[in-house]
Amino acid sequence: MTRKFLSLSVLLSAFLLIFSSVSFAAGADSEDGGEDPTGFIMHHIKDSHEWHFFNIGHTHVTLSLPVIVYSGDRGLEFFSSSDFQNHETHAFGEEYAHEGYFIDSHDHMGRVDGASFTDLSITKNVAMMFLVIAVVLILTLSAARYYKKNGAIAPRGAAAFVEPIVIFVRDEIAHKAIGPKYRKFVPYLLTLFFFIWIGNLIGLLPGAANLTGNIAVTATLAILTFIIVNVNGNKDYWKHVFMTPGVPIPLLLVIVPVEIIGLFTKPFALMVRLFVAITAGHIVILAFIALVFIFQSYTIGVVSTLMVTFINMIELLVATIQAYVFTLFTAMYIGSAVAEHAHDEAH
Amino acid sequence: MDLILPSSGLIFWQLFGFLALLFILVKFAWKPMLAAIDERETSINNALKAAETARNEMANLKAENEKLLAEARLERDTILKKAQDASVKMIDDAKAEAVKAGALMIENAKAVIETEKKAALADVKTQVATLSLAVTEKLLRANLSDNKSQKDLVEGFIKELKLN
């Protein structure tokens, strides 16, 4: 079904691209006045100090977010993102500086006198993160309340939705990848799975922020995994890193640095995988939408819409797969850290 | 903001938010949920085990019942056979007894008859003797009324004696 749909869409778009070269040429003329498509895409996938939803004519429908700045000399300061922008165009710029701070046109916070400070603003992604946390909390706490109220009976409602996922994470991810000591890690894996999954799904909504496709978010999650893995590493794990069994002493000079690098590449891979998968999906969807504005043709509009619908369906799949993969790899790394194995075993 | 350069503010908020989420969920969602799921799994396993045990017990009970029934049937057969044997024996005994009694009665009857016969014969003998005495007397009275006959008689005796 989806394959048929995909091949049909590709065929149709190829066909239409050939015949719309005229409209492309026409569109290129008027491009000066239109939006730069790269900027449009980057604007949507990057973080911002303001949550921009859509425009009606020249009216920007936005949510002004709190700007929180900490600096050694001035302490903690709170502003609104609307203090730093043109009220007509909602554009940030150095010329709209406010109380010694400004947000430049690339959405970077700066200080007029050039002194150091830390930007702790509730950006679009932070706001989105609170939204994701709220959704996860509502979902799981209402499920937990069901058990508290009804005891150990068959699940219904939110519990019926959450429980299969909980059991899947517990049995298929935690138990299989970690082994007998899995119970301790199930809560972390569950939290990870739900946060990433709900974050991915909400991120697909129009106007939402690209939270799980932000490298700071994936890096934070990867660092937490790194800490949990290495804090729980047992003797075997560290021995495997610094005194790899079955390897001749001279070779250890090569193996040990590789193993130490390996400690860091694991979370690094986690960070990059989620970031790339989600960001790439958003870029593909936005690129198809951008085509409509570039070509300004009805035919391209139809094809783009079909493609965007199709890619969105794939993204729903990717949202779940990436949450699963992140959780699974975390479980596997924990598994390798807590595993007790005989040393004559092949590695 | 940059695409591949993580911003410190977001890292701070993400760390704070995620750890808070982790803490709340561990305390209020995952622990009670996992406990409830475990509890339910245990109770389901126990129920299944109990059902299995009950089924085995039922099977055992049935087997035992059948065994008891078979034993009872066997015992009934034995009792019936014994009763039959006993009755046959009783009948046989009774028959033998009857035969014995009959034989004894016949024996007794025979003895009585013999006695009676002997008594009757004795009586007849006596009667015959008496009768013959009477006849003899009469005959003697008639025949020995004259001398001639007396003489003939004596001669007859003598003749006889001579022959001997």
Assess: ipTM above 0.85. no
Q: What is the CA radius of gyration of chain A?
A: 25
Give the DSSP H or E segment for A222: helix A215-231
Q: Per the domain annotation, does B7 fall within a domain?
A: no
How much is the pLDDT for A33?
42
Give the model's pLDDT for residue B110.
Answer: 93
Please indicate, yes or no, if residue B5 is contained in any of the structural domains.
Answer: no
Decide if B116 is inside a domain.
Answer: yes
- Dump the DSSP string for A134-155: HHHHHHHHHHHHHHHHH-SS--
Average pLDDT of chain A to the nearest whole number: 86
> What is the mean pLDDT of the segment spanning A101-130?
90
Are A137 and B21 a contacting pair at CB < 8 A?
yes
B10 and A137 within 8 Å at the Cβ level: the answer is: no
Give the whole-angstrom CA distance, residue B88 versus residue B99.
16
Percent of residues, chain A, with pLDDT higher than 70: 88
**Any domain includes B18:** yes
* Residue carrying structure tokens 């049995």: A171
Decide if B6 is inside a domain: no
B-chain residues within 8 Å CB-CB of A101? Answer: none
For residue A122, which residues of chain B lie inside 8 Å, CB to CB? 13
A272 reaches B (C-beta below 8 A): no
- List pLDDT tens digits, range A1-37: 556 666 666 665 555 555 444 444 334 333 344 557 7
**Nearest residue in A to B4, CA atom:** A215
Query: What is the token pair recorded at A53?
Result: 């939803």
Q: What whole-number distance in Å separates Cα of residue A158 and Cα of residue A322?
A: 23
Are A312 and A289 a contacting pair, CB within 8 Å?
Answer: no
Q: Give residue A131's pLDDT.
A: 95
Q: Do A140 and B14 touch (CB under 8 A)?
A: no
Give the one of B1, B6, B29 whose C-beta lies nearest to A141's C-beta: B29
Q: Tell me if B100 is assigned to some domain.
A: yes
Q: Which residues of A267-283 are buried (b: 16+ CB within 10 A; e: fewer)?
A: beebbbbbbebbbebbb
Q: Residue A134 to residues A31, A100, A202, A285: CA-CA distances in angstroms? A: 41, 34, 12, 26
Of A47, A140, A152, the CB nearest to B39: A152
Task: Check CB contact of B47 with chain A, cutoff 8 Å.
Answer: no
Partner-chain contact B13 A122, CB within 8 Å: yes
A216/B11 Cβ within 8 A: yes
Structural domains counted in chain B:
1
DSSP code string of B73-92: HHHHHHHHHHHHHHHHHHHH
Determine the pLDDT at residue B2: 75
Cβ of B7 and A119 within 8 Å? yes
A216 and B21: CB-CB below 8 Å?
no
AA letter at A221: L
Q: Write down the pLDDT at residue A98.
A: 86
CA-CA distance, A326 to A339, in Å (whole number)?
Answer: 20
Contact A144 B29 (CB under 8 A): yes
Dist. CA A197–CA A161, nearest whole Å:
14
How sure is the predictor about B136, in pLDDT bands with cuts at 50, 70 and 90?
Answer: confident
Query: What's the domain range around B95?
Result: 12-163
For residues A34 and B38, what is the distance between their CA atoms, to the nearest angstrom?
A: 59
Nearest chain B alpha carbon to A50: B1
Is residue B137 in some structural domain? Answer: yes
Instruction: Pick the more confident residue, A83 or B22.
Output: B22
